[in-house]
Each structure stands twice: as structure tokens, then as C-alpha cells.
Amino acid sequence: MYDQPRPNPAHHAMTFDQMLERVRYEGAYPTRERAAEAIRTVLAALGRQLTGDERVDLAQCLPVEAALTLTAQIPDTQHLTGWGFIKDLAAHTGLSPAVARWDTGAVLSVVTRLAGPDLLTRILHQLPDGYALLFGQAELRRARRS
């Protein structure tokens, strides 16, 4: 299974430097290194949850360095809720859940803009409940698929 990002010349995504600056601004991080660490840990955690076309399409929207972090992860067989995602991120990084939640919000707010509304809707339909808030969206109740 090779889901490496494919270049899409029609899409003018931001550079990794631009993404880094946006995340640094969103998260009010004191250094670029701290913002880069947040990008790496949050995208790695998201890469453990996201599969299929949504994973590939999101990777195409991200700067190459960010896309490689996302796609280098082997998806978990257990899909975590939004809160489970935060607890998992905290466990992987040694951060408190509050800091993990802050990092997630800072990174995913930028990812939301890069993905656009259509892809974001597809991503949120794939993931369990609780992710819309992490992406800065209203949490919509949806009927359980059987």
C-alpha cells in the first residue's frame, strides 16, 4: 500500500515555511521549533487515524514535509474518538492533555484551511465523533452507520 503524496501542480498549497508561520501564529508559540514540533506530532497522530482516499487527498493539500509526516504513519486498527485522539497524542508526546489539545487546535486550524470544506467534510465523516471540534468546526450529530 503506497499512499505517498502525488504532486498536484494545479494546487497552489502553502510552503512548509508558510504553514509553520501560520501554526506558530495560531498557537502563539514562542519559537518556530515549537510550532514544527506541534505540526509533526499532530499530523503523525492524524496519520494514525485517517485512511483511504481522504488520507491521500489531504496529503496532496499539505506541503511535502507535512504530507510525509502524515503518510509515514501506519493507520491504527482502533479508531479513536476526538477525546481519545487528544489522550493518545498526550501519551505519545508526554504533554498534558491540555497542551495536546492546544497543539491539535493550532495545527488543525491550518490544515482545515488547506483541505477546504469539501475534503474536510469527507474527513469528518470518516472519523469517529469528536473531531469536528478539533478542526474548529461545529460538531454535528449524525445517524450511526450500521
**pLDDT tens digit sequence for 93-131:** 999 999 999 999 999 999 999 999 999 999 999 999 899
> In the chain, which ranges are continuous DSSP H helix?
16-27, 32-47, 52-61, 64-71, 82-93, 97-126, 131-134
Per-residue pLDDT tens digits for 21-32: 999 999 999 999
pLDDT of residue 142: 55
Q: Taking the model in full, what pTM does it have?
A: 0.86
Domains of the chain are: 16-134 (1.10.490.110)
Q: How confident is the model at residue 141 (pLDDT cuts 50, 70, 90)?
A: low
